[in-house]
């Protein structure tokens, strides 16, 4: 699978405006407000890379369509920010505090909305599963303005036909998690499309979270000791591609899992589509690492390898946190396996992967008073073994339903995984029950990963 050709083209920023919150009923201007960060927000203060998503849309014919769309996007963003006003503010040190932070909003605050154009590539070339240059995709997401901003938006018109639009959204993770940020996106899209029944408003109160001062202190101290001005990771030379596991592929994994349990005479833990997807991708990722083809001779074939992915804690805390809570409310799942066992070809390797992922989910969903202590201990164990494979996104976020009134997105990417090394997960855009995974790798590793993935899908398709 050859990478998409490089496009010279040119990228130009046309203008940047500040979009402030406004009420559809013409209510008074929002007053100054401060929202304290919880310990689950503070965990992300040290994360140097915000979450960067880009939505690619195909617009209707007519040169004037783009101008209408851009105007509607800005107007509806203003309406959505009225309910999600903390996203129009900024992170700052809480006054009179030395180690506590807050989201602070005051009248006049807003979100940077950049309009740009690119004349080197059209939407059909971008909205594909095939490898594209990560450096090119990075053009379509905005940087967060300095001063603690937590949200920025960029709309890039794709020339010369002006029928393509790349909508980039950058969010600081300390402001909210993926469930919250996509709730905002669905709300913004509904306002733009003028739907009769918009999503429910966010719940902004922090009274649902029982504070953990010890955890907050550790991350606040880490932030204050963090060196500034570090060089950002280089995405040059990386390719970004998407790999989709169909409903049938996922069912094959479940059938193999259940069949193995039946042969052993034991009841299998529940194998969901998420468990199946993570198991296959985790295997392929490590099979694609240099030297894994000769696993028996590899010096670290007996080492422990890890997969870390988020779990939503809203339904697991006491008291229960509302589904539409605006903030961070996620914990960590830590799947661990011996590398030699994980990358083994056939049933044994797949069962090892499924067992590790299922056990991680079962452990993470048993929320108890010692939960965060165990998360801290597991984090140390995992990162002592080297960087784990991490995950961004979720099929539950329904990013392909983010329709601003001009159609569903042709493609959605989490561009920031090219910097963090994570994989990007979303529901399959065909609405057929599949799951798609975006990954950024250098050319040689991308080709090896592709071969491993193709082989895995062929094996699953041939399994009885």
Please give the domain boundaries of the chain with CATH numbers for all domains.
Answer: 11-225 (3.30.559.10), 238-462 (3.30.559.10)
Q: Which residue has the higher pLDDT, 230 or 161?
A: 161
Q: Is the per-residue pLDDT at 297 higher than 80?
A: no
Q: Are strands 151-158 and 33-36 parallel, antiparallel or unpaired?
A: unpaired
| pLDDT in the model for residue 318 | 86
Mean pLDDT along residues 279-295: 82
* CA distance linking residue 133 with residue 137, whole number of Å: 7
| pLDDT in the model for residue 261 | 85
10 Å CB burial of residue 263 (0-12, 13-18, 19+) is: exposed
CA angle 439, 136, 186 (to 5 degrees): 65
Mean pLDDT along residues 361-383: 90
Q: Is the per-residue pLDDT at 293 higher than 60?
A: no
Low-confidence winner among 3-7, 50-54, 106-110 (lowest mean pLDDT) = 3-7
Residue 143 has a CB neighbour count (10 Å cut-off) of: 14
Residue 206 CA from chain centroid, whole number = 23
User: pLDDT grade, residue 300 (50/70/90)?
Assistant: low
Q: Of 131, 163, 164, give the one whose Cα is nearest residue 413.
A: 131
* Phi, psi for residue 169 in degrees, rounded to 5: -130, 125
Mean pLDDT along residues 128-136: 95
pLDDT tens for 173-191 read 999 999 999 999 999 999 9
| pLDDT in the model for residue 8 | 53
Side by side, the strands of the sheet bearing 330-338 are 132-133, 238-245, 435-442, 423-427, 389-393, 304-312, 330-338
* CA distance linking residue 390 with residue 206, whole number of Å: 28
* CA distance linking residue 120 with residue 8, whole number of Å: 6
Q: Of 19, 54, 50, give the one whose Cα is nearest residue 167.
A: 54
- Tell whether the torsion through CA atoms of 87, 90, 92 and 95 is positive or negative: negative
CB 57 within 8 A of CB 123: yes
How far, CA to CA in Å, does 198 sit from each of 22, 40, 69?
Answer: 16, 28, 19
The two tokens of residue 241 are 């591609």
Mean pLDDT along residues 54-76: 90
The two tokens of residue 292 are 């894994």
Mean pLDDT along residues 189-209: 95
Long-range contact set of residues 11-14: C-beta below 8 Å, sequence gap at least 24: 11/116, 11/117, 11/118, 11/120, 11/139, 11/156, 12/116, 12/117, 12/118, 13/114, 13/115, 13/116, 14/115, 14/116, 14/117
pLDDT tens for 14-56 read 999 999 999 877 777 899 999 999 999 999 999 889 999 999 9
* CA distance linking residue 245 with residue 231, whole number of Å: 35
Q: Is the per-residue pLDDT at 227 higher than 70?
A: no
| pLDDT in the model for residue 4 | 44
**429: DSSP letter:** T
The DSSP annotation for 394-412 comes to -GGG-GGG---SS---SEE
Mean pLDDT along residues 113-129: 93
CB 394 within 8 A of CB 27: no
End-to-end CA distance of the chain: 28
* CA distance linking residue 89 with residue 34, whole number of Å: 9
Residue 82 CA from chain centroid, whole number = 24
Mean pLDDT along residues 78-91: 97
What percent of the chain clears pLDDT 70, i.e. is strictly above it? 93
* CA distance linking residue 77 with residue 67, whole number of Å: 15
| pLDDT in the model for residue 430 | 79
User: pLDDT grade, residue 283 (50/70/90)?
Assistant: very high
Which residues have CB under 8 Å from 19's CB, separation 6+? 74, 77, 78, 81, 110, 111, 113, 153
CA-atom Rg of the chain in angstroms: 22
Q: Of 16, 398, 13, 17, give the one whose Cα is nearest residue 189.
A: 398
| pLDDT in the model for residue 296 | 44
**Where do the DSSP E strands lie in 303-360?**
304-312, 330-338
H or E stretch covering 158? strand 151-158
Helices 347-364 and 273-287, packing angle to 10 deg: 120
Q: Is the per-residue pLDDT at 238 higher than 70?
A: yes
């Amino acid at each position: 699978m050859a990478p998409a050709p490089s496009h010279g083209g040119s990228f130009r920023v046309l203008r940047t405006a500040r979009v402030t919150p406004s009420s559809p009923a013409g209510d008074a201007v929002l007053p100054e407000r401060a929202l304290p960060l919880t310990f689950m927000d503070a965990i992300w203060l040290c994360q140097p890379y915000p979450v960067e998503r880009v939505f690619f849309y195909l617009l209707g014919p007519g040169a004037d369509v783009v101008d209408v769309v851009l105007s509607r996007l800005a107007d509806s963003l203003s309406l959505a920010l009225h309910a999600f006003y903390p996203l129009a503010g900024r992170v700052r040190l809480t006054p009179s505090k030395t180690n506590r932070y807050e989201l602070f909003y005051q009248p006049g605050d807003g979100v940077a909305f950049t309009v740009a154009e690119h004349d080197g590539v059209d939407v059909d070339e971008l909205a594909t599963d095939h490898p594209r240059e990560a450096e090119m995709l990075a053009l379509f997401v905005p940087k967060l303005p300095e001063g603690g901003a937590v949200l920025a938006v960029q709309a890039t018109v794709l020339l010369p036909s002006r029928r393509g639009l790349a909508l980039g959204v950058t969010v600081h993770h300390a402001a909210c998690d993926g469930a919250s940020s996509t709730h905002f996106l669905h709300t913004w899209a509904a306002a733009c499309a003028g739907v009769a029944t918009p999503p429910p408003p966010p719940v902004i109160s922090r009274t649902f979270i029982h504070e953990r001062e010890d955890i907050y202190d550790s991350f606040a101290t880490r932030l204050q000791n963090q060196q500034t001005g570090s060089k950002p990771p280089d995405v040059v030379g990386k390719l970004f591609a998407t790999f989709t596991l169909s409903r049938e592929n996922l069912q094959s994994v479940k059938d193999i899992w259940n069949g193995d349990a039946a042969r052993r005479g034991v009841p299998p833990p529940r194998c969901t589509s998420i468990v199946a997807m993570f198991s296959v991708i985790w295997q392929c990722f490590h099979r694609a690492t240099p030297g894994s083809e000769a696993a028996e001779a590899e010096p670290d074939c007996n080492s422990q390898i890890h997969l870390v992915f988020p779990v939503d804690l809203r339904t697991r805390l006491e008291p229960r946190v509302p589904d539409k809570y605006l903030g961070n409310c996620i914990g960590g799942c830590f799947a661990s396996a011996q590398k030699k066992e994980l990358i083994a070809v056939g049933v044994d390797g797949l069962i090892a992967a499924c067992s590790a992922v299922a056990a991680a989910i079962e452990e993470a969903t048993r929320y108890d008073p010692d939960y965060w202590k165990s998360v801290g201990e597991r984090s140390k164990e995992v990162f002592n073994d080297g960087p784990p494979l991490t995950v961004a996104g979720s099929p539950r976020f329904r990013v392909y339903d983010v329709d601003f009134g001009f159609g569903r997105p042709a493609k959605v990417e989490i561009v920031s995984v090219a910097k963090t090394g994570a994989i990007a997960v979303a529901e399959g855009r065909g609405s057929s029950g599949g799951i798609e995974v975006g990954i950024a790798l250098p050319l040689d590793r991308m080709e090896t990963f592709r071969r491993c993935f193709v082989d895995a899908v062929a094996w699953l398709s041939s399994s009885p």
